[in-house]
Each structure stands twice: as structure tokens, then as C-alpha cells.
């Protein structure tokens, strides 16, 4: 197990500043040609969407799983808001774990069989799934085809395999401030300036990744269970996944904006995609 010691606070700050500068520069280069792609809400783009029944109840049930964190690496990530620099985890690929990152933000950590310590609730990589169910109860997620069971807690989502333990951050319960910024943009506070909005979202919420194409910018956060599409033709889309925790603002705007409620859980979807790619590479 390798953990990088903090040799210099100055070095950490320089690395973080450089990463943020590069990210902002890339966004500015891409969006500089046509910034005015924001879209104020109008009758023509309204979509009447209702919150799925029992959403809040199911989220509370999922968050009741009692999972104790054993791993010092995982504790460091959780205590440092999944920032790899603050957690002193600068190497993304190690002998016993891999970090999947968006810049300095860690989307997930994957422990493999080389990690010999307990990860959560005295469970190690390779612990029999029957034993895991005895300890943690009925799984929130299960896919027999890929040999996976998973649990959602207030702070993390854990997926167990015979040879891996994959853990994601769970920020679906902390969306009030994010929703305030989101709807300020769509109501015109940013004067339709897509660049300013994207930069500010990334600065305040580093769990969001940015995917850019010729016609659109997609902001997405796996842990928040949301995806935002800003198209060049000024159309917009807010995609809410199954695990999203609706704040008051989102509820108020459901009848006023292009909000599409997905049936999938974004974290589960991302994990299955990761495992599928891994299995294909091993073939």
C-alpha cells in the first residue's frame, strides 16, 4: 500500500493551481467562439415532469445502511471531500488500488486483491458475498451477471465483487446550494454566458466533469446523479437520475424547465460501464 506523504504545502498548492488553470484555459478556448448559449426559461421549452413516487422514501431507506470505514485511504478521501491532493493520494494507479479522477476530484476508488486490509465493516477484497449480506443486509444493487452486489450509504456507495471493491462518493443529499446556482443561470443571472457558468460550476463543485463536442457542453456529476447539457443552438437539458435528491428549487422548477427524469441510477450505471470496459480489456 502506497500513500504519498505531504512533503510540501507549497508543492500541493502549486499542483492544484496548475490543474485549475489548465481546466479553465481548455474551457475558454472551446467556448470562446460563441458564449451566448444560455437559455432563459420560456413557455416553449417547458416540460411538465413529476417527481417519481416514493423517491424520498427510497433514498432514506438506502441511506440507513450501517457501513463502518476501516481503510485509512478511504477515510482520508471522505474526510477531504474526495480531493486527491488534500488526501495525499497523488498517484492514481497503485499496486493495491486505482483512483478514477476528474482533475483533483476522485470519482471512485477501486481496491484490488493486493489490498490486504479491511475496507469497510471488516470486509476485505474477496470476502464471500453471503458473508457480506450477513453483515450489511439486503443489497441496494445486485447484478448476478457480473457478480456484483452494492450498498448505498449517506457518504459512499460500495460495490463488492470477488476480486474488487469499488467505492464512489455519494453527494446526492447536498444539492440545495448547487440547485440555487443552476437555476440562477437558467433564469438569466449569468446573462446567457455559458463559459462563466461552466467555470463557476467546476470551481465550486469539482465533482462535475466537462465533456465538450462541436455542438454542446455536458456537465455531469456521477455522485450527484445529474447531467446538464448546454447546446450550441441554445437548447438545454437537465437529466435527473434515480438517486438524485430533489431540493426545493428543483421541485419548484419541474413544470418550467427541460427536465428529464431517468429511470437509471447514475452511480450504478457508471460502475457497470467501468466493469464492462475492464472485462473487455482482459479478454
Q: Give per-residue pLDDT as tens, 68-115.
A: 999 999 999 999 999 999 999 999 999 999 999 999 999 999 999 999
- The band of 172, judged by pLDDT with boundaries at 50, 70 and 90, is low
- The band of 50, judged by pLDDT with boundaries at 50, 70 and 90, is very low
Q: Does the pLDDT of residue 135 top 80, yes or no? A: yes
Q: In the chain, where are the structural domains located?
A: 9-53+173-266, 58-171
CA distance 130 to 152: 18
Question: Dihedrals φ, ψ of 146, to 5°?
Answer: -105, 5
Please give the residue that has the higher pLDDT: either 260 or 58.
260
- The band of 21, judged by pLDDT with boundaries at 50, 70 and 90, is low
**Hey, CA dihedral for 104, 110, 114, 117, is it positive or negative?**
positive
As a whole-number percent, the residues of the chain with pLDDT over 90 amount to 45
Mean per-residue pLDDT over the chain, rounded: 80
- The band of 4, judged by pLDDT with boundaries at 50, 70 and 90, is very low
Integer Rg of the chain from CA: 20
Please give the residue that has the higher pLDDT: either 12 or 259.
259
Averaged pLDDT for residues 225-238: 83
CA-based nearest residue to 34, from 274, 248, 215: 215
Residue 183: what pLDDT?
85
Residue 49, all three cell numbers: 415532469
Residue 9: what pLDDT?
57
Residue 259: what pLDDT?
87
- The band of 256, judged by pLDDT with boundaries at 50, 70 and 90, is low
Residue 56: what pLDDT?
43
Least confident of 17-31, 54-68, 76-90, 183-197: 54-68
Q: Is the pTM of this model over 0.85?
A: no
Q: Does the pLDDT of residue 36 top 50, yes or no? A: no
CA distance 29 to 195: 10
Contacts 24+ apart (CB under 8 A), 210-213: 210/23, 210/27, 212/27, 212/30
Question: To which residue does cell 456484483 refer?
Answer: 148
The gap from C-alpha 234 to its chain's centroid, in whole angstroms, comes to 26
The DSSP bridge partners found for residue 69 are 120
The number of beta carbons lying within 10 Å of the beta carbon of residue 151 is 23
Q: What is the pLDDT of residues 268-277, one digit of tens each?
A: 999 999 999 8
Amino acid at each position: 500500500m502506497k500513500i504519498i506523504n505531504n512533503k510540501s504545502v507549497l508543492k500541493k498548492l502549486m499542483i492544484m493551481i496548475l490543474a485549475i488553470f489548465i481546466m479553465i484555459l481548455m474551457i475558454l478556448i472551446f467556448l470562446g467562439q460563441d458564449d451566448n448559449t444560455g437559455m432563459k426559461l420560456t413557455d416553449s421549452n417547458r416540460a411538465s415532469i413529476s417527481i417519481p413516487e416514493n423517491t424520498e422514501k427510497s433514498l432514506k431507506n438506502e441511506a440507513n445502511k450501517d457501513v463502518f470505514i476501516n481503510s485509512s485511504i478511504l477515510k482520508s478521501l471522505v474526510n477531504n471531500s474526495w480531493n486527491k491532493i488534500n488526501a495525499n493520494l497523488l498517484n492514481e494507479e497503485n499496486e493495491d488500488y486505482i483512483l478514477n479522477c476528474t482533475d483533483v476530484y476522485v470519482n471512485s476508488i477501486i481496491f484490488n486483491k493486493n489490498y490486504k486490509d479491511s475496507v469497510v465493516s471488516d470486509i476485505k477484497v474477496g470476502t464471500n458475498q453471503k458473508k457480506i449480506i450477513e453483515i450489511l443486509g439486503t443489497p441496494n444493487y445486485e447484478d448476478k451477471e457480473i457478480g456484483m452486489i452494492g450498498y448505498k450509504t449517506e457518504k459512499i456507495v460500495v460495490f463488492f465483487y470477488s476480486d474488487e471493491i469499488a467505492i464512489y462518493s455519494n453527494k446526492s443529499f447536498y444539492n440545495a446550494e448547487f440547485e440555487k446556482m443552476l437555476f440562477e443561470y437558467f433564469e438569466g443571472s449569468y446573462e446567457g454566458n455559458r463559459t462563466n457558468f461552466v467555470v463557476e460550476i467546476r470551481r465550486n463543485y469539482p465533482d462535475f466533469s466537462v465533456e465538450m463536442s462541436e455542438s454542446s457542453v455536458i456537465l455531469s456529476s456521477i455522485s450527484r446523479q445529474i447531467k446538464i447539457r448546454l447546446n450550441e443552438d441554445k437548447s438545454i437539458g437537465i437529466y435527473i437520475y434515480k438517486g438524485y435528491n430533489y431540493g426545493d428549487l428543483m421541485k419548484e422548477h419541474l413544470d418550467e424547465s427541460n427536465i428529464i427524469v431517468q429511470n437509471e441510477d447514475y452511480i450504478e450505471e457508471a460502475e457497470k460501464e467501468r466493469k464492462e470496459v475492464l472485462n473487455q480489456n482482459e479478454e
